[in-house]
Amino acid sequence: MPHAITLIDTLKRLLKARGLTYGELAARIDMSEASVKRMFSQKNFTLQRLDEILTASGIEFEELSAAQAAPAMLQHLTLAQEREIIGDPRLLVVAVSAMNHIGFDDIVRYYDMTELEVTKYLLRLDKIGFLELLPNNRVKLLIARTFSWIANGPIQTYFRHEAAGDYLNSRFDGPDEVLRLVNVMLSKQSSVALLERLKQVAAEFAQQHQHEVRLPLEQRHAISFIVAARPWVPQAFKTLLRNP
């Protein structure tokens, strides 16, 4: 039974990583959301039902088994660790490169750093617990696929500043660019559904990245994807509102 419980917990983690809610899963396997929640909370369902869930979520059994056997991975760094990384731009470059599965030789080739410098930064990341530096400068990441920087922490704040200044300073009319600002008025239920869908798109985007990490670096190019939604009215509109 302990093995079955671990398997179900791993399945829940993989579903969450894909942004798939119990409600969406229930619709795909023709069950009520309440029944799906009860099934997972009781950690008891048949092999046939497991097969239906894997098919509906696009999770291969091999992926589930591998995730179950894998050691616990970091979901977040500590505040001190993030401050250490953001405090050295070269360390940040090496950390993000490692997250994007850019190999040692490619880092040296693309950035103005020597082999000795890159090795030094990889050793610092190894000490932090972000990765494990293996022989021949190979890297094993110790962060989960669902890893994220601390909300409003040092690194997220840095990237938000860069997004406001550099990222959005574009016409977004290139072949690999798109920008859509959509203002709508929705019910509370539809707003929740929209947020869940955006989370799922972000998870699918990250999953595609994982599928292509083995391609040569020359066949991959950096693309940044921002998902954001919040209640908002332009300030110019607010000034025209009548006082309640």
Residue 232: inside a domain: no
Residue finishing a domain among 51, 69, 87: 69
Mark whether 125 and 174 lie in a shared domain. no
Tell me which residue of 174, 182, 165 sits closest to 227, measured CA to CA: 182
Mark whether 8 and 48 lie in a shared domain. yes
Residue 162: inside a domain: no
> Could you tell me the residue range of the domain that residue 14 belongs to?
2-69
220-222-227 Cα angle (round to 5):
125
pLDDT score recorded for residue 32: 92
The pLDDT averaged over each successive group of 10 residues in the chain (244 residues) is 72 79 90 91 86 89 74 81 94 94 94 96 93 92 85 91 82 91 90 90 82 86 86 85 73
Mark whether 133 and 88 lie in a shared domain. yes
The upper half-sphere exposure of residue 161, i.e. CA atoms within 13 Å in the direction of its Cβ, equals 8
pLDDT score recorded for residue 119: 97
Residue finishing a domain among 23, 38, 69: 69
Joined together, the tokens standing for residue 185 give 């008025």
Which CATH number covers residue 94?
1.10.10
**pTM greater than the 0.75 cutoff:** no
Residue 24: inside a domain: yes
Residue 46: inside a domain: yes
Mark whether 183 and 211 lie in a shared domain. yes
pLDDT score recorded for residue 162: 84
Residue 196: inside a domain: yes
Given CA atoms 232, 238, 242, 244 in this order, what sign does their dihedral have? positive
Mark whether 190 and 212 lie in a shared domain. yes
Mark whether 175 and 134 lie in a shared domain. no
Residue 159: inside a domain: no
pLDDT score recorded for residue 85: 95
Residue 123: inside a domain: yes
Which CATH number covers residue 39?
1.10.260
Tell me which residue of 148, 153, 123, 152 sits closest to 73, measured CA to CA: 148
Amino acid identity, position 220: R
Q: What Cα–Cα distance (Å) separates residue 239 from each residue in 165, 231, 234, 243?
A: 26, 17, 9, 10
Beta bridge partner(s), residue 74: 143
Mark whether 58 and 101 lie in a shared domain. no
pLDDT score recorded for residue 191: 92
Rounded Cα distance between 28 and 56, Å, is 6
Domain count, the chain: 3
Residue 244: inside a domain: no
